[in-house]
Amino acid sequence: KQEVTQIPAALSVPEGENLVLNCSFTDSAIYNLQWFRQDPGKGLTSLLLIQSSQREQTSGRLNASLDKSSGRSTLYIAASQPGDSATYLCAVVNAGNMLTFGGGTRLMVKP
């Protein structure tokens, strides 16, 4: 059974810092890995999708990497802003399109 873990569970940083969120998974036989953002009371917003054959994806200040063999992904946020404050979730897709989420990292960026 796939298990997805996110570290840290919570993170508080001053504005402007570069930061890294970590996601690890136990079964490396994945189709893809996705990073989402969740704002309070809202549905998930897709940030980045990395196919199993890819090593990284970039969107603006966000960069996600994938090391399938070691079961790890990182989400790098450059020059963090207060508007980046949210919960960040990673999810992996296995055979049968099973989606497994990590527990999330709650990020607070202080002005």
Partner 1 sequence: GAVVSQHPSWVICKSGTSVKIECRSLDFQATTMFWYRQFPKQSLMLMATSNEGSKATYEQGVEKDKFLINHASLTLSTLTVTSAHPEDSSFYICSARGSGETQYFGPGTRLLVL
Residue with Cβ nearer partner 1 (21 or 36): 36
3-class secondary-structure state, position 109: strand
| Closest CB to partner 1 among residues 10, 79 | 10
Q: How far is CA 35 from CA 14, 71, 111, in A?
A: 22, 15, 24
Quick one: which of 60, 69, 97, 111 contacts partner 1 (CB under 8 A)? 97
For partner 1 (CB under 8 A), the number of binding residues is: 21
| From 11, 13, 19, 44, residue interacting with partner 1 (rule: CB under 8 A) | 44
Least separation in angstroms between CB 49 and partner 1: 4
> Do the Cβ atoms of 74 and 21 come closer than 8 Å?
yes
- In contact, 6 and 21? CB cutoff 8 Å: yes
Q: How far is CA 69 from CA 22, 53, 79, in A?
A: 15, 11, 29
Q: Give contact residues for partner 1 (rule: CB under 8 A).
A: 31-32, 34, 36, 38, 40-46, 48-49, 51, 87, 91, 97-99, 101
